[in-house]
Amino acid sequence: MLKYAMIGGGPGAFVGQVHRRALALNGQAKLVAGCFSRDLEKTKRLGLELGLDEDRLYATPEELTRLEAGDVDFAVVVTSNEAHYPNVKTCLENSIHVMCDKPFTHTSHQAVELVEMARDKGLHLGISYTYAGYPMIRQAREMIERGDIGTIRFINCEYPQGWLAEAVETTGHPQAEWRADPERSGGILSLGDVGSHIEHLVPHVTGLVVTRLAARLDTLVEGRELDDNGTILTEYNTGARGMYWYSQAATGTVNGLKLRIFGDKGGLEWFQEEPDHLYYMPLNESTQRIVRGSPAMLPGAQRFSHTPPGHPEGWLLAFANLYKSFCATIEYGEKPDFPDGEDGLRGIRFIEACVESSRRETLWQEIN
């Protein structure tokens, strides 16, 4: 079994415990060391609860990476966004493979530096773009690859959430507070938090590359400094077009990531809140609902299906699937099949382009 360390994911944190559970589900890696918080007491409290040795609980990520180098197989960085860059860097400097949550860094300059460092040192650098881990997303990717929907003409992807429909960041909400703070979040709020998932998912599934975009970033909640909603028009290297909408102020929505891809021979539709189904709409035929785990699944996708058809899977197993590939690459040299630093870098370049496009407002035409 591989051994890993975690940076971030302290008491009361949101996504760190999800990574720990996902890794435990796979049974491929065991948590052995941590710097879960900037506060050593909190790190110790959680680490002891998790059954870790006290002498492997550290005050700083730098201390952890220096003293654990050679003793852990990889590290997981699940801190707030401002701490991704220094923490991934200290892992790489100490020759530790690393999985970092999204968005990768604050700037593309930082992302380039880390990607180059990982490449030069022969280290694996993963970015946990969760939705790439869903079996039905893999199914969609394989169907597109074998030409089931023909040439892609248009893509529509939306990701609305409603938990920031009020200014909860002013009420001490721990996850909202840093996300709404320009210094800590990297000058963007929902574009980094949920827009980044759209940015990754579309090229991951379709193989297309965004070459041009026009974005409008909105702040819908009064008094908030950063974007909580945004619309983006996209053009791809093949000439296909797209339209993205992301929001965390979409009142009443929960986690409505929806992907729709239209080719000249058919369409595909997937909704994250109903993740075990992929809708295939062949030209001039009735829509087919492909069920996860059924014989209609293609082999590459079936490999990531865990429970029998009709017994729902979900988000936790999507994280586990990312780690399934990441751990197999580290342990057995399996071909990497997880979002990597290049994906993370492309994501940050996309964010920078959206911010710039929105700032310049060049797309608008007044009605006379």
Ligand X SMILES: NC(=O)c1ccc[n+]([C@@H]2O[C@H](COP(=O)([O-])OP(=O)(O)OC[C@H]3O[C@@H](n4cnc5c(N)ncnc54)[C@H](O)[C@@H]3O)[C@@H](O)[C@H]2O)c1
Which residue, 102 or 346, is less far from ligand X as judged by CB? 102
> In angstroms, what is the minimal distance from the CB of 15 to ligand X?
4
d(C-alpha 287, C-alpha 289), whole Å: 7
**Chain-centroid distance, C-alpha 185:** 15
| Other CB atoms within 10 A of residue 192 CB | 25
Binding segment (CB under 6 A) for ligand X, from list 2-10, 149-157, 234-242, 328-336: 2-10
Q: Which of 90, 94, 108, 130 binds ligand X (CB under 6 A)?
A: 130
Residue partners of 102: CB distance under 8 A and separation at least 6? 127, 128, 129, 192, 196, 197, 200, 344, 347
Phi and psi at 313, nearest 5°, equal: -110, -170
Taking CB atoms, the residue at the shortest distance from ligand X is: 10
Q: Which of 61, 187, 242, 293 binds ligand X (CB under 6 A)?
A: 61
Piece of 10-18, 89-97, 339-347, 352-360 that binds ligand X (CB under 6 A):
10-18
Smallest gap from residue 57 Cβ to ligand X (A): 11
Taking the CA atoms of residue 76, residue 81, residue 82 and residue 83 in that order, the dihedral angle to the nearest 10 degrees is -10
CB of 280 to ligand X, least distance (A): 26
Judged by beta carbon, residue 75 or residue 268, the one nearer ligand X is 75
The answer to whether residues 215 and 353 touch, using CB atoms and an 8 Å cutoff, is yes
Stretch 156-175 residues interacting with ligand X (CB under 6 A): 174-175
Q: Which stretch binds ligand X (CB under 6 A): 9-17, 160-168, 209-217, 257-265?
A: 9-17
Residue 347 binding ligand X, by CB under 6 A: no
Q: Is 35 in the site for ligand X (CB under 6 A)?
A: yes
Residues 177-216 that bind ligand X (CB under 6 A): 178, 193
Closer of 10 and 341 to ligand X (Cβ):
10
Cα gap 280→5, rounded to integer Å: 41
Place of tokens 């936790």: 316
Interface mask toward ligand X for 277-316; x: CB under 6 A: ----------------------------------------
Closest to ligand X by CB, 61 vs 267, is 61
For position 228 contacting ligand X by CB under 6 A, the verdict is: no
Question: Is residue 264 within 8 Å of 150, Cβ to Cβ?
Answer: yes
- Contact track, ligand X, 87-126, x by CB under 6 A: --------------xx------------------------
**Residue with smaller CB distance to ligand X, 195 or 263:** 195
The Cα–Cα gap between 368 and 365 comes to 9
Helix 108-121 vs helix 341-360: crossing angle, to nearest 10: 170
- State the residue for tokens 């299906």: 305
Distance of CA 32 to the CA centre of its chain: 24
Q: Three-state SS across 129-149?
A: CHHHHCHHHHHHHHHHHCCCC
* Closer residue to ligand X (CB): 7 or 351: 7
Which CB, 80 or 229, lies closer to ligand X?
80
CB 140 → ligand X: shortest distance, Å? 19
Q: Give the contacts of 269 (CB within 8 A, at least 6 positions apart).
A: 258, 259, 260, 261, 278, 279, 281
- Using CB under 6 A, list all residues that contact ligand X: 7-10, 13-16, 35-38, 61, 78-81, 83, 101-102, 128, 130, 174-175, 178, 193
